[in-house]
Amino acid sequence: MKQGLYSSYVFTDKDFDYIRALIGEYSGINLNQGKRELVYARLTKRIRNLELTDFKQYCDLLRSGNQEELIACVNAITTNVTSFFREEHHFGFLAETVVPWLVNQQAGSGPAKVRVWSAGCSSGEEPYSIEMTLRDSPILEKRDVKILATDLDSNVLQLARQGIYRMDQLDKVSDAKRRKWFLWGDDKNLGQVKVRTELKSRIYFRQLNLMGPWPMHGPFQVIFCRNVVIYFDKVIQKQLFQRFADILAPEGYLFIGHSENLFGVSDRFRSIGRTIYRKIN
Ligand SMILES: C[S@@+](CC[C@H](N)C(=O)[O-])C[C@H]1O[C@@H](n2cnc3c(N)ncnc32)[C@H](O)[C@@H]1O
């Protein structure tokens, strides 16, 4: 029987355990008991769209190996909250400390490579904020700069590539940067802004599951992985930071989220304060 818009769907412990295990294995996201309501709320829309009657039917669809639905399910479960210049001090540090280091360590070696990775970039505000910061650093002008921006969620990556945002999302973007890097919508696009093509040109958006193989070899001088591992358990975090250390250049910089830390997770980085780390080995 088709459920109406306000109907509730039967959601048993068995259904929750199945979804929890599947998502955990696929993405590393740890859905503990406290996330049960979140799972219900996020997946109800899928069940309704697919015209299924309950979570058991939905789990059966996933059990059948339907890849398209697995991706839709993961997309629905991920939390994508982000903003331009979120945790602003990171960008001040990037401009004032990291950029001079990038230039000095490679002085005299031609158009040296600068490789930055925004891991878990969501809808693009983070890599665009990184790029606005790097573009404002004239000493980097002659460098071969590339920013890899990856996420598991294919929906947010599409938004990131489009680079279209509401004007009120530019709260923390200075007037000068707004004028320089955004186009203003009019008529039916009033209230929207679009990232200029030039700001996109050195950013490579790719879908990548941090739990899976990484096709790139690095090294990266800088990795931003902010507000991503908060959803993973400690075992997964340990494996991930081991891999980040392996792909970072010596003394490379790692930026993590405001409620994350590497205590008891990795001894391959030293803290240099306020959720910024450097690789030590
Ligand atoms: C809360 S957002 C953080 C966005 C941005 N880094 C920031 O701090 O504003 C977390 C992002 O991590 C992504 N994510 C979660 N699990 C992932 C995985 N296994 N591989 C890659 N990305 C993942 C989610 O899709 C989501 O877009």
The closest alpha carbon to 169, from 85, 66, 76, 274, belongs to 85
- Domain chopping of the chain, boundaries: 13-77, 89-279
Could you tell me the distance, in angstroms and rounded to a whole number, from the CA of residue 274 to the centre of ligand 1?
20
**How far is the centre of ligand 1, averaged over its atoms, from the C-alpha of 139 (Å)?**
31
The tens digit of pLDDT for each residue in 27-80 reads 999 999 999 999 999 999 999 999 999 999 999 999 999 999 999 999 999 999
The answer to whether the CB of 31 falls within 8 A of the CB of 20 is: yes
Distance in Å, CA 83 to ligand 1 centroid? 13
Give the global pTM: 0.94
13-77 and 89-279 agree in CATH topology: no
- From the CA of 118, how far away is ligand 1's center (Å)? 10
Is residue 237 in contact with ligand 1, taking CB distance under 6 Å?
no
85-105: pLDDT as tens digits: 999 999 999 999 999 999 987
CA-nearest of 64, 40, 32, 12 to 230 is 32
Confidence check: pLDDT of 107 > 90: no
Architecture of domain 13-77: Orthogonal Bundle (1.10)
CB of 82 closer than 6 angstroms to any ligand 1 atom? yes
Q: Which atom of ligand 1 is nearest to the CA of 81?
A: 1
200 lines ligand 1 (CB under 6 A): no
Q: Is there an atom of ligand 1 within 6 Å of 160 CB?
A: no
Q: Is the pLDDT of residue 179 over 60?
A: yes
Q: Name the residue with the closest Cα to ligand 1, atom 27.
A: 122
The one-letter code for the residue type at 255 is F
93-97, 141-145, 175-179, 229-233, range with the lowest pLDDT: 141-145
16, pLDDT greater than 60: yes
Show the tokens assigned to 116: 């930055």
Q: Which atom of ligand 1 is nearest to the CA of 225?
A: 6
State the fold for domain 89-279: Rossmann fold (3.40.50)
The pLDDT assigned to 2 comes to 42
* Ligand 1 pocket check for 86: Cβ under 6 Å: yes
Residue 7 is predicted with a pLDDT of: 62
**Residues 189-235: tens digit of each pLDDT:** 889 999 999 999 999 999 999 999 999 999 999 999 999 999 999 99
